[in-house]
Structure 1
């Protein structure tokens, strides 16, 4: 009997994109965000409302669809990748799910309030926040990192997360949760992603500190740290040769696909994760993390 992942593309051909954080519609092969052998749909998130940043593609798309299958109403926050966002919305509506798209700039602190207001106006509550949106600008040397790229990386990856979390927390109640997407680079480091890795390290500390702060309210805060997952961020960040080698350096010797992370986010958002807070789940192809 074959396992689901044995059917997944293990590598990608050489390719690049010239836009951050990239477009899923331009990727070859397309990332797998749903799979018949990955079973969701037990009502674990019934009557919940989830906000997912970067939910238009990649990991965010897989999580959005899994949440919808589990009964949640989904709010997808994205920048300007309208084709990807509408494709995700259509996938959710194809299973009779409810999806609201909100486009804007997470680096604008006022946009966070707009997200909250639109969500409450449409769905009247917020129960789950998944901070997933990110950008990265690889450089071989710290002296090559441009100020504008450094500021943008922190503005999207960390400050955008902080602004939206700050706006959402007053609307969460006991049993609700926040899930942050960090990265294996926060724990291992990465010689060409110094600023990106730093933002993910900041999110790891943010997760631990906020979990302690909100524990008395019964609100859980956790993180997922992906390894080399096949998302639009990869061809939008690296040269063609490096893209074709994505995932080759982990013990499983392959890249992961977004659907392979969805279960981790479902666990952390559901009652099955009711006694889990302040931790990071590592979905990274077998890399051993010492932390």
Structure 2
């Protein structure tokens, strides 16, 4: 199989690349991986740069079996950059490459449990979801900074999940599947940045509920969605969180008594 993996140099992306050792893989990342097997290629790419995406796309294979959108950032000096990398760049790359997917091909993106409430916020997501290009999306972000400044990471992950479910319509029509996974806490070098956003008390509380995933815990599900026999699975946001989302829904995790909710009540 010929598969594109963004963010494949570290963390979950690197764990996925390792699992794909027998496939042809193009690793798109801002930094180079520590090692490459013979069938793998590294291509530098900053997903916040539309023209860089276009240049890279021009050199990728005309026929592909899969795309894994794993790259992401927790924060940046400008909140628009978080949305550009996590959503606009992801969307632009995906829409450039889906026409190259073979029949039965697959796209899988990494969202987050942070975006699990996207439906309740959908009306605020639609204007950006309905922009028609990377540039138009960036213009929207600059024109609406109030919607990004508080928590651009969560906003971007709500967008990824909503986009995936919307894009499943085209996937069904053109015989490819598109899904996303929503992890909880993962033991990667990026986690301290999430901890800084959430606060240590909330971070510790969250990890105490079901524990922390390893990168491979997430990568094995991505591998399944890319290469496994799951051809009728389309438009699904799959929680890969050790049961955290289930706990919230079924009531055995009491989010109302988490540190962040207690702080809001004063």
Q: Could you tell me whether the CA contact under 8 Å between 2:17 and 2:25 is conserved in 1?
A: yes
**Secondary structure of the equivalent of 2:234?**
coil
Using the TM superposition, give the Cα deviation of residue 265 of structure 1 relative to its aligned residue in structure 2, in angstroms.
0.8
In 1, Cα distance between the equivalents of 2:202 and 2:154?
A: 20
1:261 aligned to 190, 195, 218, which one?
A: 218
Alignment of 1:72 with 2:23, yes or no, is yes
Q: 1:215 to 1:101 in 2, by over 3 A?
A: same
Q: Could you tell me whether the CA contact under 8 Å between 1:208 and 1:222 is conserved in 2?
A: yes
Structure 2 runs not aligned, ≥5 long: 119-148, 251-266
Q: 1:233 to 1:173 in 2, by over 3 A?
A: same
Using the TM superposition, give the Cα deviation of residue 137 of structure 1 relative to its aligned residue in structure 2, in angstroms.
2.6
Structure 1 runs not aligned, ≥5 long: 1-47, 139-147
Q: 1:253 to 1:287 in 2, by over 3 A?
A: closer
**Secondary structure of the equivalent of 2:60?**
helix
Q: Could you tell me whether the CA contact under 8 Å between 1:214 and 1:220 is conserved in 2?
A: yes
Q: Who is 1:154 aligned against?
A: 83
In 1, Cα distance between the equivalents of 2:201 and 2:11?
A: 17
Partner deviation per Cα, 1:42-82 (whole Å, 9 max, x = no partner) = xxxxxx111111111011111111122xx311111111x33
Q: 1:244 to 1:271 in 2, by over 3 A?
A: same
Q: Who is 1:185 aligned against?
A: 114
Q: Who is 2:101 aligned against?
A: 172
Q: Who is 1:232 aligned against?
A: 189
Using the TM superposition, give the Cα deviation of residue 243 of structure 1 relative to its aligned residue in structure 2, in angstroms.
6.6
Provide the aligned length of Structure 1 versus Structure 2.
218
Q: Could you tell me whether the CA contact under 8 Å between 1:228 and 1:247 is conserved in 2?
A: no
| Larger relative contact order (CA 8 Å, sep ≥ 6) | 1
Q: Could you tell me whether the CA contact under 8 Å between 2:75 and 2:193 is conserved in 1?
A: no
In 2, Cα distance between the equivalents of 1:280 and 1:238?
A: 24
Q: Who is 2:122 aligned against?
A: none
**Secondary structure of the equivalent of 1:56?**
coil
Moved over 6 A (4+): none
Partner deviation per Cα, 1:193-220 (whole Å, 9 max, x = no partner) = 7221111111111101111112121110
Q: Who is 1:119 aligned against?
A: 60
**Secondary structure of the equivalent of 2:97?**
helix
Alignment of 1:211 with 2:197, yes or no, is no
Structure with the higher fraction of residues in helix conformation: 2
Q: CA RMSD in A?
A: 2.8
Partner deviation per Cα, 1:177-234 (whole Å, 9 max, x = no partner) = 1101100000158xx9722111111111110111111212111000011100012222
Using the TM superposition, give the Cα deviation of residue 250 of structure 1 relative to its aligned residue in structure 2, in angstroms.
4.2
**Secondary structure of the equivalent of 1:163?**
helix
In 2, Cα distance between the equivalents of 1:133 and 1:280?
A: 17
Using the TM superposition, give the Cα deviation of residue 247 of structure 1 relative to its aligned residue in structure 2, in angstroms.
5.9
Q: Who is 1:99 aligned against?
A: 40
Q: Who is 2:140 aligned against?
A: none
Q: Could you tell me whether the CA contact under 8 Å between 1:248 and 1:255 is conserved in 2?
A: no
Relative to the length of structure 1, the TM-score reads 0.67
Q: Who is 2:15 aligned against?
A: 62
**Secondary structure of the equivalent of 2:68?**
strand
Q: Who is 2:159 aligned against?
A: 202
